[in-house]
Amino acid sequence: MERLAWKPYCRPFRTPLQTAHGDWPLREGLIVRLEREGRVGYGEIAPLEDFGTETLVQAVEFLDARAEDDSLEPPPELVCTRFALDCAAGALETAPARPLHVAGLLPAGITAYAALQVLLDKGFTTFKWKIGVEPIEVERALCAELFKLLHGHGILRLDANAGLSREETEAWMAFLEDYPVEYLEQPLPPGEEAFMAALAGRYSVPVALDESLCGPGALERWSGLFPQGPFIVKPALIGRVEDYRAWRAFHPGVRVIYSSVFETAIGIENALRLAALDEHCAEAAGFGTLESFPHEDQLGWHTYGPSLTAGTLDAAACEELWKRL
């Protein structure tokens, strides 16, 4: 016998997040609480509809049905719901308390320069900057300045959020040939994987997949075309934990970068635990999202810094966060 409950949340960003698709002012999601045989666990449903996940309405419709019949399993396309329920059921409880390096998240546009200096002073060495927001000439000039500031102190990742054209992507690849960039993340939308792989073969700049990896079978589908990755894995969007870990065990040579989707502390903790279980991953994780929300919303817990450790959020802390909703 199980007892399933859930509560919604709505968190305004400290300032609206600028991406190639426009401004994102609010993060909405659901916290799931599952009580079974005396054990209580928590998960978070944090959809990204632009990535092709389920909507919150679809998630709630399934949870309503599951509350009436606990034998129901989420269909494969409800990837966020599946991950949340797996976490609540204890799928990640064995994760070690392994520290993970964290990449600092830079704001889009001209404010990135000042933000980079602040993060360098705090000890960060890997940084992610979103592009495709300003005209390409403006962004490339600013990018050159970021590389000058970083020289000898760190490495930069660029994320286009699938917002570039083919011509813009090739222009960025040619420009980045002269700089020590770690990778260019998902410059083109899903469906353009073959073109992105061809570009990666012609230039020295790695092309990482992100949006292309959402949905059942996506990781396996693109492992052949991108045998070394890099793959940006957002735990909240992977679906069944057991299936993901089986894929990872079979593809240990793929570079995986674990990344947040702007979750609450419950989602962050579960993402950290999945990353901590991956003995093949030494990449800086994309958890520079913790400072994106005002502290007074009381749905954070982890301290933002150059490293984070799974296990920071225990069962008592999860219960406290649940009561705050």
The domain that holds 45 is classified in CATH as 3.30.390.10
Residues 70 and 122 in one domain: no
Q: Where are the alpha helices (DSSP H) in 122-230?
A: 136-150, 166-176, 193-202, 218-223
- For residues 309 and 100, the answer to whether their CB atoms sit within 8 Å is yes
Q: What does the pLDDT read at residue 297?
A: 87
Residue 319: pLDDT above 90?
yes
> Do both 44 and 142 map to the same domain?
no
- 175 and 64, same structural domain? no
Q: Does the residue 223 lie in any domain?
A: yes
In this structure, are 77 and 123 located in the same domain? Answer: no
pLDDT score, position 152: 87
Question: Would you place residue 243 in the very low, low, confident or very high pLDDT band (cuts 50, 70, 90)?
Answer: very high
Per residue in 19-52, pLDDT tens?
777 889 999 999 999 999 889 999 999 999 989 9
Which domain does 53 fall in, by range?
2-88
Is 156 inside a domain boundary? Answer: yes
The predicted model gives 89-105 an average pLDDT of: 95
Query: In the predicted model, what is the mean pLDDT of the chain?
Result: 95
**Whole-angstrom distance, CA of residue 4 vs CA of residue 229:** 37
- Interatomic CA distance for residues 69 and 191, integer angstroms: 37
Return the pLDDT at 247: 97
Query: Which residue out of 128, 130, 148, 323 is catalytically annotated?
Result: 130
pLDDT at 277 over 90: yes
Last residue of a domain, one of 68, 88, 108: 88
Q: Which of 67, 88, 109 is the last residue of a domain?
A: 88
| 130 in catalytic set | yes
pLDDT attached to residue 301: 94
Partner residues linked to 157 by β-bridges:
128, 183
- The answer to whether residue 316 sits within a structural domain is no
Above 90 in pLDDT, residue 295? no
Task: Answer whether 4's CB lies under 8 Å from 40's CB.
Answer: no
Q: Give the amino acid at 44.
A: E
Average of per-residue pLDDT across 167-183: 97
In a domain, 323, yes or no: no
E-strand stretches of the chain = 2-19, 22-36, 39-45, 99-101, 104-106, 126-130, 155-159, 181-185, 207-208, 231-233, 256-258, 307-309
Q: What is the pTM of this model?
A: 0.95
Count CA atoms within 13 Å of residue 279 on its CB side.
Answer: 3
- DSSP type of residue 298: -
Residue 129 confidence class, pLDDT cut points 50, 70, 90: very high
Choosing from 7, 122, 148, 234, which is the catalytic residue? 234
The verdict on 229 and 298 lying in the same domain is yes
Half-sphere exposure of 212 (CA within 13 A, CB side): 30
- Closest alpha carbon to 258 in 269, 246, 243: 269
Q: How far is CA 156 from CA 118, 133, 196, 232, in A?
A: 15, 17, 19, 15
b/e for 17-35, b at 16 or more Cβ within 10 A? bbbbeeeeeebebbbbbbe
Per the structure, the count of domains in the chain is 2
Residue 126 and residue 62 share a domain? no
Q: Are residues 117 and 183 in the same domain?
A: yes
30 part of a folded domain: yes
257 within 8 A of 283, measured Cβ to Cβ: yes
